[in-house]
Amino acid sequence: MEFFLQQLINGLTLGGIYALIALGYTMVYGIIQLINFAHGEFFAAGGYMGVILLSFLAGQGYLQTHPWLCLGGAMLLAMVFCAFLAMAVEKVAYMPLRKSTRLAALVSALGMSIFLSNGLMLTQGVYDKPYPAAFSQGGFEFGNIVVSYLQIMIVLITIGLLIFLNILVFKTRIGKAMRATAQDKVMSALVGINSNKIISLTFAIGASLAAAAGIMVGLYYGSVNYTMGFVPGIKAFAAAVLGGIGNITGAMLGGLIIGMVEIFGAGYISGQYKDVFAFIILIAVLYFRPTGIMGENVDDTRV
């Protein structure tokens, strides 16, 4: 029972991270029906921005005295950086192809993913960059169950960001404009909604969430590298498909399920195959329920 509870805690932590990444995929698809395969690189860029900023603050001595304030500032700056990076990518790689075929946009997304990944390699190097160890110590113990402060922090930040996104999308005028653009771009333009701005904003929001997830993964595993966006990005895409691509609630649920399955599969079956379980679920969902758990086009939950 204690082992099960420990794996449950680990699964919630990992699943929340996958949910944040999956939201970027599902939001962009909901707006322009594009699978943005460069999204994993925004996640990696956020992780690198976190390690750069936190290492700088550690060198100045601020990280030792105000660790959580430094983390909040670094995360905010990384999210802003990746938001602007995503808007630039959208302007360069996707906007000129908006009236082209889906295949052309998909090839552009794959090319942008390779470009950004190699850009990270050239600017940051091929070796792992370690995160400062200020957040890796301490926690609670309940028998053999260990809950670290870092896990609590990751879960709380994830919940906070998910609540913020839901409020933004479903309770604000910006969110209403996003949902209107997703349902009918022509009609939304007729009522004064600038679809180009809404699409750029959607890219920015998705990338900022991925950046936050990148920092949390870097803190959780202790380091980042330029390839770190590939596998989590594919798993997050699987989570988005599992929940129902284009469906925000589904992406959150799908991320949690993928995280749980990966952790429990590694714990009860074999850790060597932990990356396989997400893809088994993806294949099964595509075969038995292509629209996902929550459905692909649900009006009250679609972006």
Structure tokens at 58: 């550690």
CA 284 – CA 99 distance, rounded (Å): 32
Query: What is the pLDDT tens value at each position of the chain, 303 positions in all?
Result: 778 888 888 888 899 999 999 998 888 888 888 888 899 999 999 999 999 999 999 888 888 888 889 989 999 999 999 999 999 999 999 988 888 888 888 899 999 999 999 999 999 999 999 988 766 667 777 777 888 888 888 889 889 998 899 899 888 999 899 888 888 888 888 888 888 899 999 999 999 999 999 999 998 888 999 999 888 888 888 888 888 888 888 888 989 999 998 888 888 887 777 788 878 887 888 888 888 887 654 444 455
Is 303 within the bounds of a domain? no
Is 297 within the bounds of a domain? no
Confirm if 181 and 33 have CB atoms less than 8 A apart: no
Per-residue confidence (pLDDT) for residue 250, from 0 to 100: 87
Burial of 299 (0-12, 13-18, 19+ CB in 10 A): exposed
pTM of this structure: 0.89
Is 301 within the bounds of a domain? no
Is 239 within the bounds of a domain? yes
Per-residue confidence (pLDDT) for residue 295, from 0 to 100: 67
Instruction: State the CATH number of the domain containing residue 256.
Output: 1.10.3470
Per-residue confidence (pLDDT) for residue 206, from 0 to 100: 92
Per-residue confidence (pLDDT) for residue 281, from 0 to 100: 81
Per-residue confidence (pLDDT) for residue 222, from 0 to 100: 87
Is 256 within the bounds of a domain? yes
Is 255 within the bounds of a domain? yes
Is 294 within the bounds of a domain? no
Is 118 within the bounds of a domain? yes
Count of domains forming the chain:
1
Domain extent, residue 52, equals 2-129+138-288
